[in-house]
Amino acid sequence: MSWYAVAITVHILGIVWWIGGLAFATLVFLPLLRSDLSSDPFTRIRAIEHRFAPQARIALALVGLSGAYMLSVSGLWRALLYPAAWWLDLMILYWAFFALLLFVLEPTGIMKRIVFSGIDTERGFNRFHTIHKVLLAAGIVVIASAAISSHG
């Protein structure tokens, strides 16, 4: 097996872990949490986040490293400048946005202040859930675009 095949495997598994976790949070955990906001939802979010955030950060780092390796080995860095490779740019932008969220905005508390400041708990969780829905939908579009554009 080549190193490129290992990189593809790591890349795909990292994406499955990362976007799968996002899907679980968006479609299962947050709706359950929103159904009963009376029992300190922030404590429940912190408990889940404490367990999953490090996993998501590792997955995101592996996706970035394996993606950079594949671009380097295949010589596709220059393809990022061409309109035909728009899907590569889209993947990188989505990854970079998540890297900013997971490595800067979330750990520093900026994301919490943006989402929850100045509004009541229910509106804050509605906003939080909506952000997750948008991120998941964007992730699905990015994955589908990459699959379609790179293989057909």
In order along its 152 residues, the chain shows pLDDT tens digits of 899 999 999 999 999 999 999 999 999 999 988 887 777 777 888 888 889 999 999 999 999 999 999 999 998 888 899 998 899 999 999 999 999 999 999 999 999 898 888 888 888 889 999 999 999 999 999 999 999 998 76
pLDDT in the model for residue 69: 97
DSSP symbols for 99-138: HHIIIIITTTTHHHHHHHTTS-HHHHHHHHHHHHHHHHHH
**CA distances to 64, 105, 147 from 25, in Å:** 22, 18, 24
Alpha carbon distance 68, 76 (integer Å): 10
Q: Is the pTM of this model over 0.85?
A: yes
Query: What is the phi-psi region of residue 82: left when phi exceeds 0, alpha when psi lies from -120 to 50, beta otherwise?
Result: beta
Q: Whose CA is closest to 11, among 100, 92, 107, 97?
A: 92
Q: Which residues of 46-67 are buried (b: 16+ CB within 10 A; e: fewer)?
A: eeeeeebeeebbebbebbbebb
Do 120 and 108 touch, CB atoms closer than 8 A? no
Q: Which residues of 11-23 are buried (b: 16+ CB within 10 A; e: fewer)?
A: beebbebbbebbe
pLDDT in the model for residue 152: 62
Do 44 and 33 touch, CB atoms closer than 8 A? yes
Token couple for 86: 């728009």
The domain spans of the chain are 3-150
